[in-house]
Amino acid sequence: NAGVTQTPKFQVLKTGQSMTLQCAQDMNHNSMYWYRQDPGMGLRLIYYSASEGTTDKGEVPNGYNVSRLNKREFSLRLESAAPSQTSVYFCASRRLAGDNPGELFFGEGSRLTVL
C-alpha cells in the first residue's frame, strides 16, 4: 500500500528550464492537491483538483500548471523555472467521508532547487 507517491524526490534546475513533478495515489481518493513549503511560510496551496476532470487555482498558482490525468495521477509543471520556485513540493490526496472532507494524505515531498 504505497499511499501517495511523488517523483522525483530531488531536482536541480537552471533558470528557464521546465520540468514536471509527478504524483500518484492508490487510495481511490477524489481530491488531490499540490502544496509548496517554504521556511516560515507553512504550506501554501498551488493548485488542487476536487475530482477527476477538474482543477482550480490555489493561493500561489503563478508559474505553475497542473494536469489531473486520471483519478490516480495529478502532475505539476513548471514551464520556465525561476529561483523563487526553489522549495519543497508536497502532493496530497483526500477522500470524502460523507459530508466531512477527511484528512489529507501527503507524499514524501520533492525538493526542487532552481539556480
Note whether 109 binds another protein by CB under 8 A.
yes
Phi first, then psi, for residue 29 (nearest 5°) are: -80, 150
d(CA 64, CA 56): 12
Note whether 48 binds another protein by CB under 8 A.
yes
Note whether 101 binds another protein by CB under 8 A.
yes
Per the listing, cell 466531512 goes with 100
Minimum distance, C-beta of residue 23 to another protein, in the bound complex (Å) = 12
Phi first, then psi, for residue 79 (nearest 5°) are: -75, -40
Note whether 108 binds another protein by CB under 8 A.
yes
Span near another protein by CB under 8 A; candidates 11-19, 60-68, 71-79, 105-113: 105-113
